[in-house]
Amino acid sequence: MDKQRLIIFDTTLRDGEQSPGAAMTKEEKLRVAKSLEKLKVDVIEAGFATSSPGDFSAVKSIAEAIKDCRVCSLARTMPSDIERAAEALVDAVAPRIHTFIATSPIHMDYKLQMTPEQVFDQAIGAIKIARNLVDDVEFSLEDGSRSEFEFMCRIVEAAINAGAGTINIPDTVGYGTPGEYGEMIGRVINNVPNSDKAVFSVHCHNDLGLAVANSLSAVLHGARQVECTINGLGERAGNASLEEIVMAIRTRPDIYPVEVGIDSTQIVPTSRLVSTVTGFPVQPNKAVVGANAFAHESGIHQDGVLKYRETYEIMRAEDVGWNTNRIVLGKLSGRAAFSARLEDLGISFDNKADLNRAFTRFKELADKKREIHDEDLQALVSDIQIGESAEDLALVAMDVSSKTGRAPHAELTLRSHGNDHSVSAEGDGPVDAVFRAIEKLADSGTELKLYSVNAITTGTDSQGEVTVRLEKGGRIVNGQGADTDILVASAKAYIHALNLLGNPDRVHPQLGGV
Ligand code: KIV
Ligand code: ZN
């Protein structure tokens, strides 16, 4: 079979970040971008430059740092959005502007309140402006799967003539079904006279759990770019998951007439990084990257796998980066080994003081935990990069007692605006007591939406990684904390979430209606 290249367009940093609570700082986005570069994705959609000064600066930093992938910014079809995207991408080796407008009757009538002709003119005008600024322009017909076929073909033909090299037809609301959606992509390709001048792309949401199936069906009908995210992160139920798309194509070369340039051994490390940075745990039974994805519980399966692995395994765990959980550092490792390992993981610090803090934290951790894994380093660096400012709330010390028959009691020293305060509280459990004590000082008026603890590595000396999701006035944030003591990790995560609520750069990046 003649294999064509399928372009893997990763939108974890843009659509993925639109998951409520998944907003990332610039440093975190940069770390994820470097990991995506190691994974060898073709395009990194780094953000939506015009949505906030924070997102502009993140896109700009990623454009400067990434050398081996195209870097893309989303832009509405307004000239100011497109110019802002170009400005953020100015230092990119291979910049792409991705401009979009909705083309379905329901979106044009109710959301945009524009006629199809106005949408047509605005789209084509935007593509021309973008093409004057960069060579590589992608155009998306938002809500494509619910758009009228004739209108879609007309706008696609004109978009290609105006200079769009990639045409993306999203299933924005996750409404499509595999046969119908794939066939629709094939029909557009066959009907548009200049379709051979562009790459056709798909972008599927997972509202019915069909995002991966819809994307793969489109590949069978001629799509040559798939937009996807690590761990399937994304708006509402998420986007098509990168790891599932890539491994379906690698595992079934007899079905899919395409190949991908991904280094699949980087899949699990990237998945873990995204989970740590966003605070969205990966469900254990998640395909490819879930903790149980390669675990065989039943005796019959174990027996089969021991005799001949392929009886029950269609992929090799090591091919997607499992079992690379090497012990990398320990108590005796020095600064050079520590820095070299961070460099390998694509982690860098803006200043020496942060590197020194990280090294001190590493030594403290190595005293408590004999084996330091890459995951420990990622969590430790996340902690440092949380970068509390002097005004932020910080944990100085804590003492928690929990005895059978007595209410757990927590005493904490917290620093706020440079002053130390002692607070104490009782709770239904020790974590509850810790949170109540923090609230005595913070009095935040927030609602706790989620509390979860994950072991970062295996073994009882593993660090616990805690995620705390808080909501206030419609804003949702995820705070993270890691420590070998899960009560300390819980306090850190709660405080981190409170600090995020006070940080305007961490607002949900998507703007309102176009
Ligand atoms: O889901 C969607 O339609 C999008 C577009 C902006 C590509 O995210
Ligand atoms: Zn989307």
Query: For residue 132, which phi and psi values (nearest 5 degrees)?
Result: -75, -15
Compute, in angstroms, the gap from residue 100 CA to the centroid of ligand 2. 11
Write down the pLDDT at residue 354.
Answer: 85
494 CA distance to ligand 1 centroid (A)? 32
**Average pLDDT, integer, range 137-146:** 98
Question: Per-residue pLDDT averaged across 248-276, rounded?
Answer: 95
Q: Is the CB of 166 under 6 A from ligand 1?
A: no
Mean pLDDT of 134-152: 98
Query: CA 346, 349, 353: angle at the middle one, nearest 5?
Result: 150
- On the question of pLDDT at 227 being above 50, the answer is yes
105-127: average pLDDT: 98
Q: Do 4-278 and 394-506 have matching folds?
A: no
pLDDT digits (tens, 9 = 90+) for 288-321: 999 889 877 677 777 888 888 888 889 999 999 9
Contact 275 CB / ligand 1 (< 6 Å): no
Distance (angstroms) between ligand 1 centre and the Cα of 510 equals 11
Average pLDDT over residues 397-404: 93
The pLDDT of residue 479 is above 80: yes
Nearest CA to ligand 1 atom 1: 172
> Which of 13, 172, 205, 215 has the most ligand 1 atoms within 8 A of CB, as the residue to mutate?
172
Other CB atoms within a 10 A radius of the CB of residue 444 amount to 16
Protein residues with C-beta less than 5 angstroms from the ion ligand 2: 15
Which atom in ligand 1 lies closest to the alpha carbon of residue 142?
3
CB of 465 shorter than 6 A to ligand 1: no
Q: Is the dihedral of CA 416, 417, 422, 426 positive or negative?
A: negative
pLDDT, mean of residues 165-183: 98
Chain mean pLDDT for the chain: 91
466: number of Cβ within 10 Å: 26
Residue among 101, 106, 84, 191 at smallest CA distance from 139: 101
Q: Tens of pLDDT along 352-389?
A: 888 888 999 899 888 888 788 877 888 888 777 665 56
pLDDT digits (tens, 9 = 90+) for 54-101: 999 999 999 999 999 999 999 999 999 999 999 999 999 999 999 999
- What is the model's pLDDT at position 324? 52
Predicted local confidence at residue 151, as pLDDT: 98
Task: Tell me the fold of 4-278.
Answer: TIM Barrel (3.20.20)
The pLDDT assigned to 514 comes to 34
Task: Supply the CATH classification number for the domain 394-506.
Answer: 3.30.160.270
Residue 133 parent element (H or E):
helix 116-133
Q: Where do the domains of the chain lie?
A: 4-278, 294-322, 335-386, 394-506
104 lines ligand 1 (CB under 6 A): no
The SS3 assignment for 329 reads strand
What is the C-alpha radius of gyration for the chain, rounded to an integer number of angstroms?
24
Q: What pLDDT score does 325 carry? A: 47
Ligand 1 close to Cβ of residue 9 (< 6 A): no
Mean pLDDT computed over 115-140: 98
221 lines ligand 1 (CB under 6 A): no
Name the closest-CA residue to atom 8, ligand 1: 15
Please give the pLDDT value at position 437: 97
Q: 358: helix, coil or strand?
A: helix
The pLDDT assigned to 304 comes to 83
Confidence of residue 141 (pLDDT cuts 50, 70, 90): very high
Place of tokens 């910014």: 73
* Distance from C-alpha of 461 to C-alpha of 42, rounded to nearest angstrom: 38
pLDDT band at 19 (very low <50, low <70, confident <90, very high): confident
The reported pLDDT for the residue numbered 385 is: 65
Atom nearest to 144 CA in ligand 1:
3
In 10 A of CB 384, how many CB atoms?
A: 21
The larger pLDDT score, comparing residue 348 to residue 479, is at 479
What b/e readout covers 175-204, taking b as 16+ CB neighbours within 10 angstroms? bbebeebbebbbebbeebeebeebbbbbbb
Calpha distance 383→361 (Å, rounded): 10
Residue 142 in contact with ligand 1 by CB distance below 6 A: yes
- The secondary structure element, H or E, covering residue 378 is helix 374-385
Phi, psi angles (nearest 5°) of residue 479: -100, 145
Buried b / exposed e along 354-381 (16+ C-beta atoms within 10 A): bbebbbeebeebbeebebbbbbbbbbbb
Evaluate: CB of 203 within 6 angstroms of ligand 1. Answer: yes
Tell me which DSSP letter residue 456 carries. Answer: S
- Separation of alpha carbons 495 and 139, rounded Å: 41
Q: Is the Cβ atom of 100 under 6 angstroms away from ligand 1?
A: yes
What pLDDT does 513 receive? 36
Give the position, in ligand 1's atom list, of the atom nearest the Cα of 239.
Answer: 1
User: In the prediction, which pLDDT does 327 show?
Assistant: 55
- How confident is the model at residue 295, as a pLDDT? 79
Alpha helices in 279-351 (DSSP H): 299-307, 335-344
Nearest-CA residue for atom 5 of ligand 1: 142
User: Which ligand neighbours the alpha carbon of 235 most closely?
Assistant: 2
Higher pLDDT, 384 or 148: 148
Cα–ligand 2 centroid distance for 74 (angstroms) = 11
Name every residue whose Cβ is closer than 8 Å to that of residue 279 and which is 6 or more positions away in sequence. 21, 22, 467, 469, 478, 479, 480, 493
- Exposure string for 280-306, b = 16+ CB within 10 A, e = fewer: bbbeeebebbbbebbebeeeeeeebee
Q: Which atom of ligand 1 is nearest to the CA of 170?
A: 3
Which ligand gives the minimal distance to the CA of 100?
1
Q: How far is the CA of 465 from the centre of ligand 2 (A)?
A: 29
Q: What is the mean pLDDT of residues 495-509?
A: 72
Note the pLDDT tens digit of each residue in 403-455.
898 999 999 999 998 899 999 999 999 999 999 999 999 999 999 998 988 88
CB of residue 170 inside a 6 A radius of ligand 1 = yes
Whether 315 and 251 have beta carbons less than 8 Å apart is answered as yes
